[in-house]
């Protein structure tokens, strides 16, 4: 129980920030490209309460953490409503709205990396803050890679739908009602591992490269 409390304390803020920025980014991109549905429903907000799903964001992750001894963790936020018909160029702009979420997580991972660098340079000895920074990097890289997986309704699935020719895009989009179950099966059978690890590794290497000038300067 003590380990669970410590884990929750370390991951609470990184997870809340990651989810909030991810969903808000979708809403901002949708409004910029012509659809104000999320904005009208108050979802274009950096207030975490607007995006938290009590069951998917809190109950399920805790139950899975306890039930699997931390070996399997999954959760979700309330999806941002987007009326793609309102977008100026629906098929093209669908991809940009979808990409806004993972892009926000990549940016947030970079901010946590900068925070970790400053902690190290400043000689801050409090382990809790460094663990939180590492948790922030990991959480956002996981969300970045997971959401880019090309199965709808994940963001990567919407990007792929946008890129496919109309006839194939329509057929591919038909699997969306089953997408969640497909992804869960891939997670449980550890097939998604072969997607997550390379994408996360590449993203982390890119983050380190971007942060190199800051490290040299400090």
**Which residues belong to the active site?**
23
Give the Cα separation of 103 and 45 in Å (integer): 17
Alpha carbon separation from 211 to 26, 136, 150, 156, 204 (Å, rounded): 26, 16, 28, 26, 11
**What are the phi and psi torsion angles at 33 (to 5°)?**
-95, 5
Give the Cα separation of 41 and 53 in Å (integer): 15
Using alpha carbons, select from 1, 146, 178 the residue that is nearest to residue 74.
146
Give the Cα separation of 120 and 138 in Å (integer): 18
Give the Cα separation of 51 and 161 in Å (integer): 25
């Amino acid at each position: 129980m003590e380990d669970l409390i410590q884990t929750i304390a370390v991951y609470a803020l990184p997870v809340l920030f990651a989810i909030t920025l991810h969903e808000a980014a979708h809403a901002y991109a949708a409004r910029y490209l012509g659809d104000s549905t999320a904005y009208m429903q108050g979802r274009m907000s950096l207030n975490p309460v607007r995006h938290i799903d009590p069951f998917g964001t809190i109950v399920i992750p805790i139950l899975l953490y306890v039930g699997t001894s931390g070996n399997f963790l999954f959760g979700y936020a309330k999806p941002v409503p987007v009326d793609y018909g309102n977008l100026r160029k629906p098929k093209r702009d669908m991809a940009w709205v979808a990409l806004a979420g993972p892009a926000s997580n990549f940016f947030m991972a970079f901010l946590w990396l900068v925070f970790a660098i400053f902690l190290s340079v400043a000689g801050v000895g409090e382990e809790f803050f460094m663990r939180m920074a590492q948790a922030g990097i990991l959480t956002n890289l996981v969300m970045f890679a997971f959401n880019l997986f090309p199965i709808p309704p994940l963001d990567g699935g919407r990007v792929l739908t946008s890129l496919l020719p109309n006839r194939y895009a329509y057929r591919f989009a038909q699997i969306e009602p089953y997408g969640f179950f497909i992804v869960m099966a891939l997670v449980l059978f550890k097939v998604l591992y072969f997607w997550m690890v390379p994408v996360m590794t590449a993203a982390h290497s890119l983050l380190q490269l971007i942060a190199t000038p800051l490290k040299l300067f400090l």
